[in-house]
Amino acid sequence: MQLNRCRGFHSSFRALQGGLSLNMDGSTTTIIQPGPLIDFLIANQNVLNPFQIDWAKAKRTMKNLRIKVSPTNQEYRITGISENSCKEFSLKSRAAGGNDVESFDITVYDYFVNHRSIDLRYSGDLPCINVGKPKRPTYIPVELCSLLSLQRYTKALTVLQRSQLVEKSRQKPQEKIRILADVMKSNNYAAEPMLSSCGITISSQFTQVQGRVLPAPKLISDPMDVLEENAQFRRAPPLVRVDKMFEQIQTAFPDAPPRFLVCLLPDRKNSDIYGPWKRKNLAEYGIFNQCMAPTRVNDQYILNVLLKINAKLGGLNSLLAMEQSRNIPFVSKVPTIIFGMDVSHGSPGQSDIPSIAAVVSSRNWPLLSRYRASVRSQSPKVEMVDSLFKQTADKKDDSGIVRELLLDYYKSSGQTKPAQIIIFRDGVSESQFNQVLNIELDQIIEACKFLDESWSPKFTLIVAQKNHHTKFFQDGSPDNVPPGTVIDNAVCHPQSYDFYMCAHAGMIGTTRPTHYHVLLDEIGFSADDLQELIHSLSYVYQRCTTAISLVAPVRYAHLAATQISQFLKFDDMSETSSSHGGLTSAGQALVPELPELHHNVRSSMFFC
SS3 289: strand
What residues have CB less than 8 Å from 564, skipping those under 6 apart? Answer: 356, 358, 375, 594
Residue 161 CA to its chain's centroid (Å): 17
SS3 15: strand
Task: Give 94's pLDDT tier (boundaries 50, 70, 90).
Answer: low
- Tell me how long the chain is: 608
* pTM for the predicted model, two decimal places: 0.73
Q: Are 395 and 365 in contact (CB under 8 A)?
A: no
Q: Are 65 and 43 in contact (CB under 8 A)?
A: no
Higher pLDDT, 305 or 571: 305
- What's the rounded Cα separation, in Å, for the pair 583 and 161? 38
- What's the rounded Cα separation, in Å, for the pair 436 and 432? 6
Q: How many CB atoms lie within 10 A of CB 11?
A: 15
Q: How many CB atoms lie within 10 A of CB 381?
A: 15
pLDDT, tens only, 248-283 = 999 999 999 999 999 998 776 667 889 999 999 999
Instruction: List, as own/partner pairs, every contact residues 531-534 make where C-beta atoms lie below 8 angstroms and the sequence separation is at least 24, other chains included.
Output: 531/214, 531/486, 531/488, 531/499, 531/501, 532/214, 532/329, 533/328, 533/329, 533/330, 533/331, 533/422, 534/462, 534/501, 534/503
Taking 80 as the threshold, does the pLDDT of residue 517 lie above it? yes
Of the chain, the percentage scoring pLDDT greater than 90 comes to: 57
Which phi and psi (to 5°) does residue 234 adopt? Answer: -70, -20
- What's the rounded Cα separation, in Å, for the pair 85 and 465? 48
What residues have CB less than 8 Å from 30, skipping those under 6 apart? Answer: 3, 4, 5, 6, 152, 153, 157, 161, 165
Structural domains of the chain ordered from first start: 3-30+160-207 (no CATH), 35-148 (2.170.260.10), 227-289 (no CATH), 316-326+333-573 (3.30.420.10)
Q: Give mean pLDDT, residues 400-429.
A: 96
Which phi and psi (to 5°) does residue 413 adopt? Answer: -120, 35
pLDDT of 395 reads 86
The radius of gyration of the chain from alpha carbons, rounded to an integer in Å, stands at 28
pLDDT, tens only, 366-391 = 999 999 999 999 999 999 999 999 99
Q: How many CB atoms lie within 10 A of CB 152?
A: 12
Taking 80 as the threshold, does the pLDDT of residue 584 lie above it? no
pLDDT of 576 reads 39
